[in-house]
């Protein structure tokens, strides 16, 4: 592997422990203004320094992230469908490699829809992106998207992850599921998990813990962080599990402690405002 490729990958998967906390804020590319991500700048700002990397589209990067940021960028370059459109799997590559280089992307991200109507097209997209990325030393994160109906079992996800790796993806993002260790075992590149729909904070921490225990290299998490009532405390708790080997209880206690403290500070400042 070339130096540039290794260097960029080391910004995504930390070399010390081979783990990663990627913050996903790319949801708008097919969902529009998702709840609590309506104003991306406000959502991203407080979380930026706690993420190992940030996954987003060029539009949100340009408009909503300060260019002085040191957080490595995972640029979502696939798109072309919407939640109300004909078929979510009908994606193409929407951002050129030159643009990704201009934006100083450390990694390129693209969805594949194995088993869908547009399977061939999305796998062709991945192959093309890997060819381009290899030319310039930029790794590719393949997202094994499941569309609206596909099952999330280890047989299906194992198939999708393995195909992504065979086509040259450097990292694969998928979903946790029963027998997830089989998915990881069958995939020769690092596997990270999406958080999926918002869960209770403790459950999201349990999901993170279980995925790591089953061999995942980390998370690419969105809604379970920024839809939490205390997003900063939540990303810190996720980090504690991924990077400091906290148990779920320890991480949740840390989350709850920080939440209580934040609430106390809020109350204090509300009281102050009233007394002035």
| Contacting positions for ligand 5RP (CB under 6 A) | 24, 26-27, 55, 111, 143, 145, 194-196, 220-224
Q: Would you say 15 or 46 has its CB closer to ligand 5RP?
A: 46
Phi-psi category of residue 45: left, alpha or beta, with phi > 0 → left and psi -120 to 50 → alpha: alpha
Q: How far apart are alpha carbons 271 and 215 in whole angstroms?
A: 48
Minimum distance from CB of 267 to ligand 5RP (Å)?
Answer: 30
- Is 35:198 a contact under the CB 8 Å cutoff? no
Nearest to 27 by CA among 239, 229, 224, 236: 224
Nearest to 176 by CA among 215, 148, 234, 134: 215
Q: How far apart are alpha carbons 151 and 141 in whole angstroms?
A: 21
User: What are the structure tokens assigned to 218, written together?
Assistant: 């980390």
Minimum distance from CB of 204 to ligand 5RP (Å)?
Answer: 9
| Strand residues in the chain grouped as ranges (E) | 20-24, 53-56, 73-76, 78-79, 92-93, 107-112, 140-144, 171-174, 191-194, 218-221
**What does residue 221 show for φ and ψ, rounded to 5 degrees?**
-115, 140
User: What are the structure tokens assigned to 254, written together?
Assistant: 């840390």
From the candidates 102, 117, 173, 197, which is the catalytic residue? 173
**What does residue 151 show for φ and ψ, rounded to 5 degrees?**
-70, 150
Residue with tokens 């050129």: 96
Task: Indicate if 268 belongs to the active site.
Answer: no
Report the b/e string of 116-138 with b at 16+ CB within 10 A.
bebeebbbebbbebbebbbebbb
Tell me the catalytic residues: 173
């Amino acid at each position: 592997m070339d130096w540039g490729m290794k260097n960029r990958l080391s910004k995504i998967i930390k070399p010390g422990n081979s783990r990663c906390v990627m913050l996903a804020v790319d949801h708008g590319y097919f969902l529009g203004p998702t709840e609590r991500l309506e104003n991306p700048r406000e959502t991203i700002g407080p979380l930026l320094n706690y993420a190992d990397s940030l996954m987003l589209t060029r539009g949100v990067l340009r408009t909503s992230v300060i260019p002085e940021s040191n957080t490595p960028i995972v640029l979502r370059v696939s798109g072309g469908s919407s939640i109300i459109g004909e078929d979510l799997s009908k994606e193409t590559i929407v951002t050129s490699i030159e643009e990704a280089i201009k934006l100083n992307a450390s990694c390129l991200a693209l969805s594949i829809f194995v088993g869908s109507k547009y399977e061939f097209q999305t796998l062709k997209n991945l192959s093309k992106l890997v060819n381009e990325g290899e030319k310039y030393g930029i790794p590719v994160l393949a997202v094994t998207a499941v569309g609206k109906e596909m099952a999330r079992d280890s047989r299906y996800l194992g198939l999708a992850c393995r195909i992504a790796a065979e086509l040259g993806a450097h990292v694969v993002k998928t979903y946790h599921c029963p027998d997830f260790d089989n998915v990881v075992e069958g995939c020769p590149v690092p596997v990270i998990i999406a958080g999926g729909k918002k869960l209770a904070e403790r459950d999201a921490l349990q999901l993170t813990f279980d995925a790591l225990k089953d061999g995942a290299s980390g998370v690419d998490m969105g809604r379970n962080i920024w839809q939490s009532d205390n997003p900063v405390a939540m990303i810190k708790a996720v980090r504690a599990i991924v990077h400091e080997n906290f148990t779920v209880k320890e991480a949740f206690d840390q989350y709850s402690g920080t939440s209580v403290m934040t609430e106390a500070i809020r109350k204090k400042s509300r009281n102050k405002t009233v007394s002035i």
